[in-house]
Chains A and B, each alone.
Chain A
Amino acid sequence: MIKIKAKDVDVFYGKKQALFNISLDIEENQVTALIGPSGCGKSTFLRCLNRMNDVIDICSVKGEILINDFNINDKGCDVVRLREKIGMVFQKPNPFPKTLYENVSYGPTIHGIAQSKQEMDEIVETSLKKAALWEEVKDRLHEPGTGLSGGQQQRLCIARAISVRPEVILMDEPCSALDPIATAQIEELIDELKKEHTIIIVTHSMAQAARVSQNTGFFHLGQLIEHGSTDKIFKNPDNKKTQDYITGRFG
């Protein structure tokens, strides 16, 4: 099943074009990795999928991005409802400077998902359990989220993202600020999460892409050079540039 269908997406920062004609299909309940050297536009593409580029005044996006056959670049698309369906985890852990509980309950609160305090407690508990953080923090839910370690903070951000049960989770280099042990925990988590969510992850680490993803797209200088199953991209790429990049000859 194809969840997201991007067709001829161009992105401009002012007059500078950052993405050229990107067309990419994303499979449902699979992990898609976007790789490429710095500045190649993979994060920009990721931010198109939940319209986070709207925040940047000079940024304009052209082309179609269909999610469930609905074009999110249409004028009629409501970004608030879009972002409820498409969660995001950022490069640097960015919990709110509030308690753990308030962090996870923020999404359900603003979207009116929980009807009672009890229901909210359940949502917080399941979200933290799914993010593999519950056991570590269940006794200090009302302490500030900023007091956790880096890896725990990132899992808190994942718990926050899944608290509104999004269909898609976007991850922008979620492990780049973490140590190898925390990274391993997050990767394990991603594997678990793909059962219920479609995941798109931007990563600098090719090893990580190979470990966690089923599909991979390779970006270079604002163009999507090649995409396909991770196996094929890593073992038998069609394009010479892809070959050079994954073997470490540039990038």
Chain B
Amino acid sequence: MNKNKEQLLNKRYKAEQRFRLYGQSAIFMALLFLTIFIFKIFSTGYSAFQKTWLIVPVNFDAELMMLDENPTKQDIEDADYYEIALQSMWNLDPNANEDQQNQLKRMVSYFFEREIKQELLKDPNLLGKTKEVYLTASDDLDQVFKGNYPRDLPEDQRRVSDYQLKIFDQLVANGNVESKFNISFFTNADSREAELAGIASSFMGSIFSILVCLMIAFPVAVLAAIYLEEFAPKNRFTDFIEVNINNLAAVPSIVFGLLGLGVLLAIFQLPRSTPLVGGITLSLMTLPTIIIAARASLKAVPPSIREAALAMGASRMQTTMHHTVPLSMPGTLSGTIIGLAQALGETAPLILIGMVAFVNTIPGSPMDPAASLPVQIYIWAESAERGFVEKVSACIMVLLGFLIIMNLFAQIIRHKFEKKWS
């Protein structure tokens, strides 16, 4: 009998040990996946924060630019820079034939004459002189310099010719190639040229969408939750509403996109591709999440607090506003942040309402066309150029950073509230 008992006890201990092991390996797996994911993104994406520049001497020849001796600011603005820009690239190899001259031109970014113009606008005294100017390298050379482009491929399978590589290597040897922090990634809007493409438009688009979403979803959801939880009679009809709110939370997001397309764009004629429409569509999606979180945290407020306030002669409204709602706020806010984080990462509904359009301007208000960060990732991931590969990962990093900051913010708010009520 006693021996039997001991065996049973041993069995129980072993079962517990096994269970712990399962749990630990589950956590290990989760951490492993996370590490691989983050490592992959960082290792592909970090190089996007660097940009390769070619340092090329430019002769600001007044004659080629068709300028007088003493040009006004407007003259400088209107001058023709293409010729001197071309000349400065051709000067890298004075013996180049026509085809090679064309290749030389394609070593720098498509709009390289604009960079030369900026230089002269900054310092008009340069007129007639020669200065070394930083020109953005083409995305292919940028990738070559970062080591992301295989140089050992046969020439006809490469987008960079042997001749271009030769000139580029000369420049590198002379110290005329430099890598600097890629500011334009944050200040430029999207572009067809990978070396010029930036996230400014999609970042602002995301911020405007989230703000519109918050301003619509939060008040509506909180009011709905308070009414349902504190004031509405508990009957079949409110049960029915509750079930349907839960159903709404489970509706695939693309359906909300169709709703936005069919109602907001088709019926209300709101401007297409704008964060306004995006935000309204996302708020429909976020609404049930916030309602559910707010109701749960209202339910978690002990009934004894409500009774205490009611027994003091507080009206139902006073009980709710003075006690229940403030006590439930931390939970409601964290639910809101979770909902907004979901909305921030949402792509499908935005594609349907046209926020997938190529936007090369930075939106100044929710009424201007814009992309959003996840849609930008989608657009870039579809692009063929090698230069966009690292941009995709970099954009993911920015999106993740955005989410982390939001969660941190939520935590801080929660902490502040909880301290007050403890």
Contact = CB atoms under 8 A, between A and B. Distances in A.
Contacts of B306: 55
B269 interface: no
A98 B306 CA distance: 14
Contacts of A81: 313
B308 A110 contact: no
B234 A57 contact: yes
Given A57-B234, A97-B422, A146-B422, A157 B313 contact: no
A94 B307 contact: yes
A80 B313 CA distance: 5
Nearest to B318: A110
A92 B305 CA distance: 11
Contact of A107 (B233, B304, B313): B313
A50 B422 contact: no
Nearest to B311: A88
Nearest to B302: A94
Nearest to B301: A97
B310 interface: yes
A157 B323 CA distance: 16
B287 interface: no
Interface in B321-380: 322-323, 327
Nearest to B233: A57
Contacts of B314: 80, 106, 110
B312 interface: yes
A155 interface: no
A90 B315 contact: no
A111 B313 contact: yes
Contact of B312 (A55, A97, A146, A164): A164
A37 interface: no
Contacts, number: 64
B309 interface: yes
B311 to A, nearest CB: 4
A87 interface: yes
A144 interface: yes
A108 to B, nearest CB: 10
Interface string A84-114: 1001101010111110000000110011000
Contacts of A94: 302, 304-305, 307-308
Contacts of A161: 311-312
Contacts of B234: 57
Interface residues of B, number: 21
Pick from B312, B322, B323 the residue with the most CB of A within 10 Å.
B312
Interface in B229-252: 233-234
A106 B319 CA distance: 11
Contacts of B327: 97
Contacts of A106: 309, 312, 314, 322
Nearest to B312: A107
A87 B422 contact: no
B37 interface: no
B312 A157 contact: no
B236 to A, nearest CB: 13
Nearest to A81: B313
B421 interface: yes
A206 to B, nearest CB: 26
A160 interface: yes
A97 B421 CA distance: 5
B27 to A, nearest CB: 35
A83 interface: yes
B304 A52 contact: no
Contacts of B323: 96
Interface in B286-312: 302, 304-312
A160 B308 CA distance: 10
A28 B120 CA distance: 97
A169 B307 CA distance: 15
B312 A160 contact: yes
B165 to A, nearest CB: 71
Given A57-B234, A97-B421, A144-B422, A83 B304 contact: no
A106 B318 CA distance: 11
Contact of A110 (B313, B421, B422): B313
Nearest to A106: B312
Interface of A: 50, 52, 55, 57, 79-84, 87-88, 90, 92, 94-98, 106-107, 110-111, 144, 146, 157, 160-161, 164
16 contacts: A52-B310, A55-B306, A57-B233, A83-B312, A83-B313, A87-B312, A90-B304, A90-B308, A90-B311, A94-B307, A96-B308, A96-B323, A106-B314, A107-B312, A110-B314, A161-B311
